[in-house]
Structure 1
Amino acid sequence: MTEHHTVIVIGAGQAGLSMSWHLTRRGVDHVVLERDTIAHEWLDGRWDNFTLVTPNWQCVLPGHAYDGDDPDGFMTRDLVYDFVRRYADSFGAPVREHVAVLSVQQAPGGGYAVSTSAGAMTADQVVVAVGGYHVPSIPRLAERVPETITQIHSSRYRSAAALPPGGVLVVGTGQSGAQIAEDLHLEGRQVHLVAGSAPRVARFYRGRDCVAWLQDMGVYDVSISEHAGGLSKRESTNHYVTGRDGGRDIDLRAFALDGMRLYGRLTDVGSDGVLRFAPTLEQSLDAADAVSEGIKNDIDAYIARAGLDAPVEERYTPVWRPESEPTELDLEAAGVTSVVWAVGFRRDYRWLKVGVFDGEGHPAHTRGVTAAQGLYFLGLPWQNTWGSGRFAAVARDAEYLAEQMSPAVGARVPAAV
């Protein structure tokens, strides 16, 4: 007989486990299907020296808050993995590891038919908790890079020692690209960094972590419907900063002073192994700095409104500017032996055969609730607020969905787990 559950949750990261906690607490029959292992992306998709960029005190899952001795610090990759694994163990989450979901479609009589690597299942309701970053994105330009050059996506980067000796080209300055460039630089590699349009933020300002200020200001609580950009915020690039060594700014200008070589947007890779760039470097650096200083302006205004006593701090002054922007890089002549592509991911929902997507392939939803009865998303970037998809607000998003689901699944609420 086909196995049936009231709810099937797809994905056993922090989002799927948060939903499982609420369903367990409400006594709802469910199973969590995970194609790999619990929280594996934290271990398999991060480099050796990875740290969170948000403070540990923001790591709060339903019924499970950070309980270490460094709340203002930044957990390493292994500690985050352990944090999520311990969460699953804390309430006996019904996770089935190494079970891949092959397809989900609406069943003729209602509910959903779920085809998996372990056989067919059905469910009254399905929660898709696989995040928004599925397939590593590498541009077609990479096909023209000489075969002698090692190329990897940022999700496969582990350490400088794992790459061939020589210089490294990092393409992209989002959170991963900027931090990987820093990691390589600190290991003594000659780094060539292609700067994109990602903004940056100061780690500390006026005596506190900027995340703490933004938390107090309610920035993480503002819903996407209240933002001027509306749904376009879901395509926003996160600000680059680091939690390494207790946390600090990532200042690409300072890296340049210290020998890192910076370039504007990559436009072409010639058959001769020569890369060509648009003269956008200075513009990118200025724009990133402007965002950082704008956040400081908001913090200053908040401090003034609230009448808070906070130390005054000098504003940032650019420590370096390009005298002229490089337009070419000969990989062989420069001794570059590796390229790290840090240009993001593509969504892949081909297995979800339900009409809940817009014209660009984005899940169409309101706070995770779709137009298809009983189908929900959880853990998406900007699902509702800036913190959605991260530890900052996934607990709140999971609770909201659990409340939406409860009447339909006839949930009862026993003693709290």
Structure 2
Amino acid sequence: MSVSLPHHSVLIVGGGQAGLSLSHHLQAAGVDHLILEKHKAMHTWRTQRWDSFTLVTPNWQCALPGHPYDGPDPHGFMNKGEIAAYLDGFRAKLQPPLREGVTVDSVRPLPGGGFQVRSSDGEYTAGQVVVASGGYHQPIVPRLAERLPASVTQLHSADYRNPDQLPPGKMLVVGAGQSGAQIAEDLHLAGREVVLAVGDAPRCARFYRGRDVVDWLADMGYYDMPVTAHPLREGVRDNTNHYVTGRDGGRDIDLRRFALEGMQLYGSLQALDGDTLRFAPTLRAALDGADRTYNGINASIDQHIARQGLDAPPPSVYTPVWQPEGERETLSLAASGITSVIWCIGFSPDFRWLDAPIFNGRGHPVHERGVTAVPGLYVLGLPWLHTWGSGRFSGVARDAAFLAERIQAFQPAAQAGRAAQDLAMAA
């Protein structure tokens, strides 16, 4: 006797801004679908952000489908609570078909078409599946962390909330991308002693020639550039985000200025030998590289202003306010008084539950604008899926609309495979 499992035309894995944005378009088209979310909808914005967190892009770029930012400060930067309220408003307006607290254990294509989905809530079949769970799943912590003394408190950036959760003593922040630079600033502003291991992350200005740099880049069409037109092509997906902040109305993050104020800067962390931390002699090159990017972006804005004949304040070039006297390559944990380490070196993808031949050698899904080589299987919400804004509030709506069109075009084929699914799932 065969048992017909619950079936949906489209099953979406992940209830973040990507999954809900797609739901918006599928609801408008009358397409049956269900969203399965492991935690709560858009939980990362509540659970993986520190207390002083703000957006690093201006509020006007918050443009989820049918839910643009309509607050009083379009050129400001929403804080953690305001972001949560914005997202809650989106969900309330949308009323998506969503099941929370459901872990998807496996998704696999069926021979006759469609997919089998196993979850903590039972089994389903689906004509099509959209993976909208993002690409930041497993916090990266190096193996040397296992050898740090038990007396040293360790946190990943996903678990950092505020300086008060850390014991007295000096803090080592490893990584100076967006999270690392902002967390180092948070600790520094609270009067904590900070040692920062600096990697090769670039930086950019917050404001330049009278406007937010984001405003200039939007006018220049940067946020509409598809990944296929970027000089790095798909390689841009591996780039570290520029560090800058929206805190206190927005400002640059200048690690050199922090050094003048007492923060200790080192190159990238390489090893731990007993009590001794070892760093690569890369600090000067890292700071110089970040400044080249900073000045390069500003120079492109200068060119745009000149081409368009725009009236703007005069141009400028950043000049370093501090230089390292030399490369410090070792640091004793005990002698330096380090009592806490915060790992800010990112996340790795974990798609082990997705049993489909779509991955490259580094575990990332291969796709063209979210469409994979497996018919009816899509990805959404990944960085540079199509444009710079694909993993952000600014560009996910466009990507979701595109996939919704592809899903509707595929519907007849997906429905034709339903009989084969029921046979494959016979009990």
Q: Under a length normalisation based on structure 1, what TM-score does the superposition of the two structures give?
A: 0.97
| 2:106 corresponds to 1:103 | yes
Of 350-359 and 253-262, deviating more is 350-359
Task: Give the Cα–Cα distance (whole angstroms) in 2 for the partners of residues 186 and 266 of structure 1.
Answer: 23
Question: How many percent identity over aligned positions?
Answer: 58
RMSD: 1.1
Number of residues of Structure 1 aligned to a counterpart in Structure 2? 410
Structure 2 contact 302–315 (Cα < 8 Å) conserved: no
Deviations 1:53-74 (CA, angstroms, capped at 9, x unpaired): 0000000011000111111110
- Matching of residues 265-284 of structure 1 within 5 Å: 265-271=268-274, 273-284=275-286
The answer for the alignment partner of 1:22 in structure 2 is: 25
The answer for the alignment partner of 1:48 in structure 2 is: 51
Deviations 1:131-187 (CA, angstroms, capped at 9, x unpaired): 111100011121221121011111111110011111110000110000000000011
Structure 1 contact 16–129 (Cα < 8 Å) conserved: yes
Cα drift, residue 85 of structure 1: 1.9
Task: Give the Cα–Cα distance (whole angstroms) in 2 for the partners of residues 410 and 203 of structure 1.
Answer: 49
Cα drift, residue 358 of structure 1: 1.6
The answer for the alignment partner of 1:240 in structure 2 is: 243
The answer for the alignment partner of 2:377 in structure 1 is: 375
1:71 is paired with a residue whose SS is coil
Structure 1 contact 38–85 (Cα < 8 Å) conserved: no
Cα drift, residue 410 of structure 1: 5.8
The answer for the alignment partner of 1:415 in structure 2 is: none
Cα drift, residue 20 of structure 1: 0.4
1:197 is paired with a residue whose SS is coil
1:126 is paired with a residue whose SS is strand
Task: Give the Cα–Cα distance (whole angstroms) in 1 for the partners of residues 282 and 94 of structure 2.
Answer: 51
1:387 is paired with a residue whose SS is helix
Matching residue's letter, 1:209: D
Task: Give the Cα–Cα distance (whole angstroms) in 1 for the partners of residues 8 and 268 of structure 2.
Answer: 50
The answer for the alignment partner of 1:186 in structure 2 is: 189
Task: Give the Cα–Cα distance (whole angstroms) in 2 for the partners of residues 276 and 108 of structure 1.
Answer: 53
Which stretches in structure 1 are left out of the alignment for 5+ residues? 412-417
Cα drift, residue 110 of structure 1: 1.2
Task: Give the Cα–Cα distance (whole angstroms) in 1 for the partners of residues 182 and 315 of structure 2.
Answer: 25
The answer for the alignment partner of 1:301 in structure 2 is: 303
The answer for the alignment partner of 1:252 in structure 2 is: 255
The answer for the alignment partner of 1:143 in structure 2 is: 146
Deviations 1:187-208 (CA, angstroms, capped at 9, x unpaired): 1100000000000000000000
Task: Give the Cα–Cα distance (whole angstroms) in 1 for the partners of residues 148 and 291 of structure 2.
Answer: 32
The answer for the alignment partner of 2:133 in structure 1 is: 130
2:388 is paired with a residue whose SS is coil
The answer for the alignment partner of 2:418 in structure 1 is: none
Deviations 1:206-229 (CA, angstroms, capped at 9, x unpaired): 000000000110011111111222
Task: Give the Cα–Cα distance (whole angstroms) in 2 for the partners of residues 102 and 278 of structure 1.
Answer: 41
Matching residue's letter, 2:56: V
The answer for the alignment partner of 2:38 in structure 1 is: 35
Task: Give the Cα–Cα distance (whole angstroms) in 1 for the partners of residues 199 and 324 of structure 2.
Answer: 16
Deviations 1:57-104 (CA, angstroms, capped at 9, x unpaired): 000011000111111110111211221121111021111110111100
After the TM superposition, list the runs of 4 or more consecutive aligned residues in structure 1 that deviate by more than 2 angstroms: none
Cα drift, residue 313 of structure 1: 3.8
Task: Give the Cα–Cα distance (whole angstroms) in 1 for the partners of residues 339 and 255 of structure 2.
Answer: 22
Q: 2:229 aligns with which of 219, 222, 226?
A: 226
Cα drift, residue 404 of structure 1: 1.2
| 2:372 corresponds to 1:360 | no
Structure 1 contact 380–389 (Cα < 8 Å) conserved: yes
Task: Give the Cα–Cα distance (whole angstroms) in 1 for the partners of residues 193 and 158 of structure 2.
Answer: 21
Task: Give the Cα–Cα distance (whole angstroms) in 2 for the partners of residues 218 and 117 of structure 1.
Answer: 44
Q: 1:349 aligns with which of 328, 348, 351?
A: 351
Matching residue's letter, 1:151: Q
Task: Give the Cα–Cα distance (whole angstroms) in 1 for the partners of residues 31 and 184 of structure 2.
Answer: 46
Matching residue's letter, 2:356: V
Task: Give the Cα–Cα distance (whole angstroms) in 1 for the partners of residues 408 and 305 of structure 2.
Answer: 41
